[in-house]
Copies of this chain bind each other. A is one copy, B any other.
Amino acid sequence: MQNIDKDTTVLFSYWRSSCSWRVRIALALKKIKFEYKAIHLLKEGGQQKSDDYSKLNPMKVVPTLVIDGNVLGQSLAILEYLEETRPEVPLLPKSAADRAIVRQMMQIIGSDIQPLQNLKVLQEIGTLAGDDKKGAWAKKWIANGFDGLEKLLVKHSGKYCFGDQITFIDLCLPAQVYNANRFNVDMTPYPTISRISDALSQLPEFEFAAPHNQPDVEC
């Protein structure tokens, strides 16, 4: 990876990673062709911890996107980069106030939910309190975040999370709903989240980016 070809776009991804999933949707919507390189988060003690990969991504997490000769980490930073360099299919509204609402909803998932129930945090909860505590921990934080997000969506959603335009927050929703289902979160209090999640799953770009369509899928 020392010599990065400016014309090659490579996504280092794991099929079930929420953060990789967000970027896969963005690449599909913006019609950016890319090579998929699977990084298995569990095999070999976690391939993301290898010397080669950690040089690309010092946090040793997925995704990493190699694009335009740059090596980019952190999914939400990657979304902003793609929006700035490929604005033809916009994923943010036009006014600063509207963009702030979209980013507020995005950060609820990106800061207040996902980080608290990802693989390595759940592994740590298991070590600290027992594996039987992992599910309740994940459920608690997903419900806490969805409580706030649902209220904002009631106010701002149309067909999708912010009116009828697909924006950054829509890119973050499918993985979070997928995890909510994995952890048996009761979705009854979240009819707006559920409705939008269903609508998004009908779109070909979202289907393309879903875990079951990735080359490294396992079940």
Contact = CB atoms under 8 A, between A and B. Distances in A.
Interface of A: 58-61, 68, 70, 72-78, 80-81, 84-85, 96-97, 99-101, 103-104, 106-108, 110-112, 114-116, 121, 124-125, 128-129, 133, 137, 140, 145, 147-149, 151-152
Contact of A77 (B72, B85, B107, B125): B107
A148 B103 contact: no
Contacts of A125: 128
Can you tell how many copies of this chain the complex includes? 2
Majority secondary structure of chain A interface residues (helix, strand, loop or mixed): helix
Contacts of A149: 58
Nearest to A107: B74
A125 B129 CA distance: 9
Nearest to A80: B103
A44 B129 CA distance: 29
